[in-house]
Each structure stands twice: as structure tokens, then as C-alpha cells.
Amino acid sequence: MENISFSVFLRIIQQLLTIKYQEINMLAVRDVQKSYGNKTVLKGISFTAPKGQIISLLGNNGSGKTTTFRCIMGLSDCDKGSIRYNGRPIERKRFGYLPEERSLFYDVPVFTQLKLLGQLKGADSEEASLTADYWITRMKIEEYRNQIPLRMSKGNQQKVQLIICLMGKPDILILDEPWTGLDQNNIGIFRDVLTELKTKNKIILLSSHQYQPVQEICDRYLYLKNGELVINETKAHLLEMPQRIVEIEHDGRFIYQGKEAVRTTVHGRIVKLWVSNDETAWAVMEKTRNDSSVISARKRKLTINDLIEVSK
Amino acid sequence: MKNLITFYLKRRFFSRLTLILGLVVFRACGFITHADRLSETETKQTVYLDESCSFLAEQLISRSNIYRDTKNDTDNNCVLCYEDGWILTGKQITEELIRQVENDVRAVESEIYLRKADLVEKEFIERYKKSFTVSVKNNKKTDVSTLVVSAVFYLILTYSNLISNEIIYEKSTHMLDMIICCAGERAHFFGKIITAYLSLLIQGTWIVSCRFFWLVIRFSEDHFRGLLELAEGYVDTQNIRLNGESILLLGLLLIVSLLFIQIVMMMVTCMFRDSEEAATFQNVYYVILIALYYLFVIRGGPIEGSTAIELILSYVPLVTMIFMPVRVLTGQAGSLDVIMSIVITTGVLAVMVELILPQYKKLLLRK
């Protein structure tokens, strides 16, 4: 009897240690639920975000992305579940937050508010000034250093917003729609900065409706549908998947009649065929070669967009 | 929190508008300190002569332009009549005016009697002794309790919404999330309150300094004589019972009560999502305050003796700052009452903060 109890005790300890160990160097979200009144916004979502990774949280409007972020940062209390960093509850100062809406003191000069928010996160005056100046230069907004945000373009305001997020050297960055209002050039700057931060072992969580930059820089894709996490896929795994997509552009007369495709979707005059592997993709393309209605055919690997399309 | 407070203070005081307002306050203090001179030129009082003193009306009118023989529109002026002696009836009659009327009546009467051939010297002296003192009736002056209540209401109106307006601004610019994220809700809560008090202190110091500067100038001019005479004419200070200890305690009560109102307003404002919702509430709040104020003024203040309700209200935290000072001024309450009121307000405040603080973040970040 004593032996049984001891072994149970040991197993519990082992499990606890395993959980602890697993949660080291990562943000762990476990079974988080959140309701507003009668509406359940998050239905028990779980995922982990290791250091040095960029994780995208995707989903339609109202799917629960912002609520997830707010719960992670403690701006909203979750009804159930836990959110831990390094196996411990998170200190709010570890976060850098870029909200979806512009959150700026519109009448306070850029440098002043950057310095203040840096200091609020625990940096001393000099450190906050140096960090602010570094990021102002890095983001190429030196000319707006002493300007008030009211007189700046949306894109430049968004840059200031990102700098605010980076003040105080946070471990975890939460970026809610970071590319809103940015042109391609500035999206490039943001992408470079995020890649640089990734190499500095930061955890970056971002949400976006623009899948192109997400596809390029993210290591893991999470897709929320009505408060449920329906996709949790790494970029590496996605690239390793044997399935291929054959995209056939035609003149309007093409009808696919083969049996190779496990799934077919039609977008105007483009037919997307989901096939099981590269060989099958080649075979499908070979078949279409002699079809006079086909303008072009190409194969490619799966993207997050394809997975989302399936889950819809 | 220190950084947050410094930032809030800089935002409030380091602007062109604040500088201009500071100068306006400085000028306003100068005007107040020379108010007697302003009133001298603009509101010279007219004395209407009643039919009972028609026998010397002509002489008085020719003597000074303050006398009129008509009785029309006498609401805001004083009337001189004769009923076994000279009586001056009216509002806000200054000592200076009384002295002038006495002098004029004395001079005119002397003139009339001296012209009479059959005048007996003894009779004239008797008449002179009897009649030339002007007694004053119905001289309505502003009582100090009304002045105090006006000042308290002004303070409530100015400072109670100070924090809540800032919170609404932070909410509407979505800056609140950032601040809470960086500093935490506790720092935000106490930061706001401390900032409000430091602002009060800074503004108060500026106003007191300006007043002091102008008072020094006024003292060098006439040792405050003009100001004291003005106050004598307009303000009834006869019933005031106030000492240094009372002033100190009332000041403390005012500070604690303002803190109480600010926290209440802060909590109420937290529930609003945007400035429109807040404005709707604030409008109602202002209307209630103004209604209360007029009710108090119309009633004439509790100078004649407190009712039981007023007695109770003077200990109730939200309204103690209105009722307690008046009771102290009229001698109906002592230092012990003020201390009790401070203790009650502080106690309720502590319980309220303890209960509210855990809910603060939830209310503040309500979407």
C-alpha cells in the first residue's frame, strides 16, 4: 500500500516537473475561456509560444484574437485557464503591446511619450532616451522626433506605436494588426525589425488579415474560428507536408474530371486542386498540358491560406 | 508611479494655456485686492428721500448728487426717512455712506435752524443731539456662510471632474491600455489621485502667492483701509466664530472630502466607455450641484440654526464639506465635530478604496 502511494506521489512530482520544464522559455496558454455576458468569446484555447519565434494568430473579425491578447496581458481576466511565462504568472512589464487602435497621446511629442512609457516600464531616464532615439532612427522617423502624433501620417503613427511597444526591452511582444495603414516599404521595415527581434529571443505574437507578410516571417500559425483554435501549425511542418496545390488558370471552359485531387476549389477562372503529393501534382499538370482551355498550370506547396480555406 | 505623476503634472502645467491662465489669475488677484476702487467708480449708491424728510430734500439734493427725491426703483438702493430720528433703510449700506448722510443731514439742519430768527440756542443743541444720528434698518449683507458654501461648490465643480475627464481622455485615445500595461492599475489609480492633489497644491500656492503679492502692495497703499470698509458694507461678519484651529481643521476636512468626491467620480467615470456617456452623466451631476447650491442660497443657509437633517448631513461624507463649515462658522459646531467628520470621511474612504481597488481594473478596461 505504501509503495503504491509512494509511486503515485512520485508520478505526480514527475508530471509537475515535466510541466514546469516544458514551460521554461516559453509562453504557455492553457485552456483559456472568456465570456462577455452570455457570449463565449474564447472556448478553451491552448497553445505555447517558445522564445525566438513569431506566432501569428489569425481569424476573422470577432473570432477572439484581440480578446486572447488582452487575456494574455492581463488587461482582461480570463474566466478559466492559465497563462504562464517560464512556468510562472506573467508580469505585465514583460510585455510590449501594439494595440489595434492607435493608442497615443496625440498632443505629446513623440520622444517625450516614448521616454515616459520606457520609464514606466522600469528604464531609467537615460536608458529610455537612448532606446527611444535608437528606434526612432531605426524606424526612419528622425524628423518627427519632436513632432506631435496629431501632425503625423497614419503610417508614421504606427511606427511610433511599434517603438512604444519596444520600449523597456520586453520579452513578449503582442502586435494586434501591426501592418494596418502601412505601405509596402514600411511593411518591409516592420518585417525586418520583427525578424531582428526574433533573433534576440523575443516571443512575438501577432494578428493580421494580411497573410503575405505573416507567411513570410511567422514560425507558427494559429487560426481562431468562433473562439476555438482550429489550426495550430508550424511553418516548418507546413513546408514538410507532402500535399501540393495545383493552380490551373483557364479560359472558362475547363472542367476538372480527374480523381487525383482530394479537394477542389474554384476562384473565378482559377481552379485549385489539392493533391496528395508532388508526383500526383506533376501528373495532373501533365494531363492539363493538352487541354486547349488551360492558360497556365503551376504547382506549389501548401500555405497557411490553404489550411484556413479548408477549415472554413 | 513617480514617472507617471511627473508626466501628468507636466501635461497639466507645461503649456502655453497654463501660462496664460496663470497670468489671468495674477491679474484677477490684483483686481480683487483693489475691488473697493472698482466699486467706488461703478456702483455709487443713491439715497432716495422719503416724503417724511421733504423739508430738507431740496438742500440735500443740492448738496450732493447721491440724493434723489423720487421713490421709483428703490429696490437696490437705500431710502432716508424721518420717524423720530433719521432712518436709513436698504441693502449693503456702508459705514462711509452712513457717515456721509449724517454729515449732510447735520449740515443742512444746522443751516435751516441757523436761518430761523427765533432760534433758541438751547433748543437747537437739544435738536442737534437728538436727530443727527442716522440709524440703519434692513441693511442686508451677504452672510459669510453663503460665501463659504459658494467657494466649496466652486471647488467641487472644479476638482471633482478633474480626474474623471483625464480618464475619459485616456480611454478615448486608447492610451489607457498602454499605461495599465506599462505601470499597472494600482499605479494609475494612486497616480491620478496624487496628481490631482499636487495640482491643487500648485494652483493653490500660485493663487496664494499672487494674493500675497497684491496684499503687500495694497498694504503699502492704505493699510487695507478701503478693502476693510468694502467688506464691512457687503459682508456680515458679526456671527462668525472662527479661530486658527477651526480653519486648519476645516481645511483638512475639505481636502479629505475632495478626495472622497474625486474617488467617487473616478469610479463612476470608469464605467463609461466614451466621452459621450461621461458627458451625459456629468451634465446631470452639474445640474444637481447647481440645484443644491440655489436651494442653499434661497434658504439663506443654516445661519439661523441647524435643523436635524442639516446636523446629520454635516457628518455624511459626500456633503460634509458643505454643511460642516457653515455650522462651525455660526458656532453650532466645534473642533470636535470637525474631527469626527474627518474621521468618518477617512474611514468610509479607506473602506471604499479597499472595496473598489480590486474592481478598478475591471471597470477601467471595460469594453
What ipTM describes this predicted complex? 0.70
CA distance B217 to B198: 29
B161 DSSP β-pair partners: none
Closest-CA residue of A relative to B8 is: A116
Cα dihedral across residues B358, B360, B365, B367: positive or negative: positive
Residue in chain A lying closest to B176 (CA): A103
Can you tell me the distance from the alpha carbon of B33 to that of B25, in angstroms, rounded to the nearest whole number? 12
Q: How far is CA B318 from CA A174, B65, B234, in A?
A: 43, 51, 31
Beta carbons of B182 and A93 less than 8 Å apart: yes
Closest CA relative to residue B345, chosen from B308, B315, B323, B325: B315
Cα distances (angstroms) measured from residue A71 to each of A63, A68, A98, A225, B4:
14, 5, 14, 17, 24
Closest CA to B342 of B354, B330, B355, B325: B325
Among the partner residues A70, A77, A103, nearest to B178 by beta-carbon distance: A103
CA distance B272 to chain A (A): 17
The C-alpha angle with vertex A154 and arms to A76 and A62, in degrees rounded to 5, equals 35
Integer CA distances (angstroms), B324 to B153, B188, B285, B336, in order: 13, 32, 22, 11
How does pLDDT run across B196-231, given as a tens digit for each residue? 888 888 888 888 899 889 888 888 888 877 777 777
| Residue B68 predicted with pLDDT over 60 | yes
* Separation between Cα atoms, residue B60 and residue B102, nearest integer Å: 11
**What is the distance in angstroms between the Cα of A163 and the nearest Cα belonging to chain B?**
12
Put simply, whether B366 touches A (Cβ < 8 Å) is no
The pTM for the full model equals 0.69
Q: Which residues of B touch A162 (CB under 8 A)?
A: none
Residues near A141 by beta carbon (within 8 Å), at least 6 away in sequence:
A110, A156, A159, A160
Distance from the first to the final alpha carbon of chain B: 25
- Is the CB of A92 less than 8 angstroms away from the CB of B184? yes
d(CA B14, CA B10): 5
* SS3 at position B116: coil
* Per-position pLDDT tens, chain A of length 312: 566 677 777 777 766 655 555 567 788 888 889 888 888 888 888 888 888 889 998 888 888 888 898 888 888 888 888 888 887 787 777 888 888 888 888 888 899 888 888 888 888 888 889 999 999 998 888 899 998 988 888 888 989 989 988 888 888 899 988 888 788 888 888 888 889 988 988 899 999 888 888 888 888 889 888 888 888 888 888 788 888 888 888 887 877 777 778 888 888 888 888 888 888 888 888 888 778 888 888 888 888 888 787 776
Chain A's closest residue to B179, CA to CA, is A117
B365 and chain A in contact, CB less than 8 A = yes
Q: What is the pLDDT of residues B142-190, one digit of tens each?
A: 666 677 777 777 777 777 777 777 888 888 777 888 888 777 788 888 8
Q: What is the pLDDT of residue B41?
A: 47
- SS3 label, residue A173: strand
Backbone angles phi, psi at A241, to 5 degrees: -60, 135
Separation between Cα atoms, residue A93 and residue B183, nearest integer Å: 7
User: Chain A residues with CB inside 8 Å of B183's CB?
Assistant: 120
What's the average model confidence in pLDDT over B344-362? Answer: 83
Average pLDDT taken over every residue of chain B: 77
Give the pLDDT of residue B33.
83
Q: Which of B177, B180, B182 sits opposite A121 (nearest CB)?
A: B182
Judged by a CB distance cut-off of 8 A, whether residue B4 touches chain A is: yes
Annotate A47-68 with b (16+ C-beta within 10 A) or e (fewer): bbbebbbbbbbbbeeebbbbbb
Q: Is A262 helix (H, G, I), strand (E, B) or coil?
A: coil
Residue B257 half-sphere exposure, CB side, CA atoms within 13 Å? Answer: 27
Q: Which residues of chain B have a CB within 8 Å of the CB of A102?
A: 173-174
Contact A103 B175 (CB under 8 A): yes
User: B276-321: per-residue pLDDT in tens?
Assistant: 777 788 788 888 878 877 777 776 555 455 577 778 888 888 788 8
CA pair distance B233, B45, nearest whole angstrom:
11
Q: How far, in Å, CA of B355 to CA of B349, rounded?
A: 10
Measured between beta carbons, which residues in chain B are less than 8 angstroms from residue A106? Answer: 173
Alpha carbon of residue A85 to chain centroid: 17
Q: Mutation test of the interface with chain A: which of B7, B182, B364, B367, choosing the one with the most A Cβ atoms within 10 A?
A: B182
C-alpha distance from residue A287 to each of A244, A259, A294 (Å):
16, 12, 11
Domains in chain A, CATH or no CATH each: 22-238 (3.40.50.300), 241-311 (3.30.70)
Taking CA–CA distances from A98, the nearest residue in chain B reads B178
List A80's β-bridge partners, or say none: A33
B 177-196 residues with CB < 8 A to A: 177-184, 187
